[in-house]
Amino acid sequence: MAGHTDGAEVPARTARIGDLDVTWSERGRDGAPVVFLHGLAEDRHTWSYQQNALQDLHTYAYDLRGHGDTTAGGADGTLSQLGGDLIGFLDAVTGPATCVGFSLGGTAVLRAAAHRPDLLPHPVVFGTSTVVGRAAAAFYEQRQATAESGDRAAIEDALREDSAGALVRRADLLERVVASRMKAVGGSEGYLNGLRAMRALREEPLTPLLEKVTAHVDVAGGEFDSFCPRKAADIILANLPDATYHEVPGVGHLMNADDPAAVTTVLRTILAR
């Protein structure tokens, strides 16, 4: 099963980059590179549908630190480190690239773009927040405690609850989504690392760094996304020097499960610019 989308499995490669053994999938050979970053408790297969649909482009999708088949290394629970991992991947594998991040992956893209604009000439983020409120911080703390317990059944129950609230069109895919997310979580080190990084956005928002992003940024949100609602996108748009908003119709937060074709349509419009 290729993640929770209907895309066929994309062959993978692995290389040592920094303190990690990073695994990624690569498709196509034409044009400038496009690098995909998945969200929390997901892996590179989240983007399999797009990699198969966009074979006229040269695409890469890698597993974030501690997710999927990428090792956790010296995970420190910071967005700075996750952004640095992206910079390391670009330096070692692709060179400058359009980087497309979803949720946790989107925050890593923006963090890297603020520090290495030469490597990220076109950042694109889907379902992303750069600051979290009190309620969201409490949510991450609860999930962090669950991950720290090591109780696989409790982690699965938490992911089921979260996934159910993030699906709008395809509630019928819930168990398939949960299974793919549990596989992506593995030993839960990467899941815990991502939870800590997102929780830290309460005291240390990414928002103030956005003024350093000199490239044009395309910001996309799901029409019915309750995890990263339009307000989150508006905060990003208000703090970026140059940005455009796009809406993916009819989807919740897990938009690549709800309607991967709609995500691809929006993405094609963005990339055509």
At 130 the pLDDT is 98
At 2 the pLDDT is 41
Instruction: Read off the pLDDT of each residue in 178-193 and give the average, rounded to a whole number.
Output: 97
At 10 the pLDDT is 72
**Each residue's pLDDT tens digit, 54-76:** 999 999 999 999 999 999 999 99
Residues in CB range of 69: below 8 A, 6 or more apart? 12, 14, 23, 43, 63
Instruction: Read off the pLDDT of each residue in 155-184 and give the average, rounded to a whole number.
Output: 98
Instruction: Read off the pLDDT of each residue in 208-216 and give the average, rounded to a whole number.
Output: 97
At 29 the pLDDT is 81
What percent of the chain has pLDDT above 70?
Answer: 97
Mean pLDDT of the chain: 95
Q: How far apart are CA 211 and CA 70, in angstroms?
A: 31
**Each residue's pLDDT tens digit, 75-98:** 999 999 999 999 999 999 999 999
Residue whose tokens read 């989240």:
46
167, 252 Cβ separation under 8 angstroms: yes
At 273 the pLDDT is 78
Instruction: Read off the pLDDT of each residue in 265-273 and give the average, rounded to a whole number.
Output: 94
At 32 the pLDDT is 87
Report the predicted TM-score, pTM, of the whole model to 2 decimal places: 0.96
**Each residue's pLDDT tens digit, 1-53:** 344 555 567 779 999 999 999 999 999 987 889 999 999 999 999 999 999 99
At 162 the pLDDT is 98
Whether pLDDT at 148 is above 90:
yes
At 253 the pLDDT is 98
Q: How many residues belong to the chain?
A: 273
Angle of helix 104-115 versus helix 189-199 axis, rounded to 10? 60
**Each residue's pLDDT tens digit, 103-130:** 999 999 999 999 999 999 999 999 999 9
Q: How far apart are CA 221 and CA 213, in angstroms?
A: 19
Residue whose tokens read 């482009």:
57
Superfamily (CATH) of domain 12-272: Alpha/Beta hydrolase fold, catalytic domain (3.40.50.1820)
DSSP string covering the chain:
--TTSSPPP--EEEEEETTEEEEEEEE--SSSEEEEE--TT--GGGGHHHHHHTTTSEEEEEPPTTSTTS---S--S-HHHHHHHHHHHIIIIISS-EEEEETHHHHHHHHHHHH-TTT-SEEEEES--S---HHHHHHHHHHHHHHHHT-HHHHHHHHHHHHHHH-SS-GGGHHHHHHHHHHHHTTSHHHHHHHHHHHTTTTS-SGGGGGG--S-EEEEEETT-SSS-HHHHHHHHHH-SSEEEEEETT--S-HHHH-HHHHHHHHHHHHH-
At 4 the pLDDT is 54
Q: What are phi and psi of 198, to 5 degrees?
A: -70, -40
At 238 the pLDDT is 98
- What are the residue ranges spanned by the domains of the chain? 12-272
